[in-house]
A and B are shown apart, each in its own frame.
Chain A
Amino acid sequence: MSSGVELASAAVLLLLVVLAVMARTAPAGVTVYAWAALPQAAVAAALAASGGGALLWVDAALILAVKGLWVPSLLRRSLPVPDRHGYGLAASMSPPMLLGGAVVAALLGLRLGVLLGPAAGEALGLGLAAILLGFGIPAVRSELWAQTVGILLGEAALVLTALVLAGDLGPTAEILSFAEVILLAVVLGAVVRAVRDVHGVADVRRLGRLRG
């Protein structure tokens, strides 16, 4: 049962990340992020149900509470709603190109997943594709809220992939990753607000005075 749930969850998460690439408003992006807690919790619950240990049930509940409720509420408070809807493209890559890249990544991930172990191969591959797509959002979307959602969705995909691979991350890694995602959301929100305060708009197209 566990491997079927893992595969379905990874597929749902990948779909949610695709939706986030296309999201036009900050509230929509945050809602997609909140829904992404479900597939992560499903994987943890499926692993717990198939003999993975009681702590995985706690993990599933915490994922729902922290990533489904708490972090989205933090983001809703901190991310600015832009005065117009639509896409802001950050770089030379466009969302269709990123989605095409995700398809290639998924195929590569599937191949890699099969090489790493047939039991979790496909789910692992889809998880890796979701990570690449999530972390790719800052390369295509210029609005800082979209980039924030992309980074956090990449983290969600990463946790799902790690769970699929290892079965159980152990209490230390779990607790620290929860702390990380909360703090990351807080700091991302704070910097987005600071950028908006300085430039009037939280968009990377208004940044560019520093040359790296």
Chain B
Amino acid sequence: MTHSQLTPGVAAGRLPRDSYADNFSDLHAPLTAHEAAVASDRCYFCHDAPCMTACPTSIDIPLFIRQISTGTEESAARTILEQNIMGGMCARVCPTETLCEEVCVRETAEGKPVEIGRLQRFATDTLMEKGVHPFARAASTGKKVAVVGAGPAGLSCAHRLALKGHDVVVFDGRAKAGGLNEFGIASYKSVDSFAEREVAWLLEIGGIEIRLGQRLGENLDLDALAADYDAVFLGMGLAGVNALRADGEDKGNVTDAVDFISDLRQADDLPALPVGRNVVVIGGGMTAVDAAVQSKLLGADSVTMVYRRGKDRMGASLFEQDLASSKGVRIIYNAMPVAVHGNGAVQEVEFEYTVDDGGKLSGTGERFFLAADQLFKAIGQTLTGAPADLTVERGKIVVSETGRSSRAGVWAGGDCASGGDDLTVTAVAEGRDAAEDIHTSLSVKE
């Protein structure tokens, strides 16, 4: 039974078999050596470079680009990885257009920044393809640290701790390590199992044990961890999902965008993955864009993203919005869901236009309906399973600059903790900085 984009309902195999590979290929193709030489040549080696300041992990961007330009990609990779052990993934998923590349002086001068993200990928890919892990552990300290969450924050923290000679056990609730790098990012940003390969490469430092299927609040207990380990780092992310709070939310084919993205990333056979003919995504962040674009790439006939505020307030960058538009996703701004209609499964979604009065949102009374066979909710994730004795504010574990929580001996970082944007690169920085503080703390004891 073959399906097309027009097949009603939710169906698999809407596209010719061979078009899936094209659709889900690398969003940004890797640079060839010649392209990297040309791209690196454009860097001015700025003093106190704005790009470096804009990078949450403070990578010495002018230096690594110069190292590429002089044919020493491995040294370039080392410069990157010393600051950001997940520099390979960040090169793929960082919204560089709002970070390093936005402030590049070439952007100011010509509207065309140095391609920092792609150059970073060129350097880190070169090193990883050689099978080199450029760091060696310090002598064992005999200290043990528990890390909860094998995502960017947890793994970054674990690597830095292992580097310093501590033994680390990383617990994760899922069946596979990697966190959002593995489960929460659009496939075309991490092709060829890159997230999995990066984790394996990162673990080559040694001294890190991963224990899967262990979730805080379920089969893992903070008190027990605190008793068994010299320090604990929490980097379990935001496992919960916000509800729409619209009537009919419980109807069939109304699901969380994060689950759709995760299923897609883990799918062995994309043509077998069902998608609606008419898909509606509610939300305005990266997750919403990832779900919308990938629905389209899977063969949905029409995909509409609906965001309750204006374009300028949208969490997804302009680049991401343009990407969605270029793939045929329609974006409707200033509208909020009122009700989900359907007989069992969703058939249409009712919206009301909104006005944003200095941050205060209200409905205009004017409503409209969108046909929908599938509705994805992407209106933010929430913290779940946080131990009761930790101070939590605005849905995040409160931490200091160096990641210390309100409980002595417990650090936190990444999306589950306060401070910084919910970005992979920010999580890596927070994990690293917490590890440095844990190391300092463990070193002065006794």
User: A and B bound?
Assistant: no
Which residues of B does A touch, CB under 8 Å?
none
Which residues of A does B touch, CB under 8 Å?
none
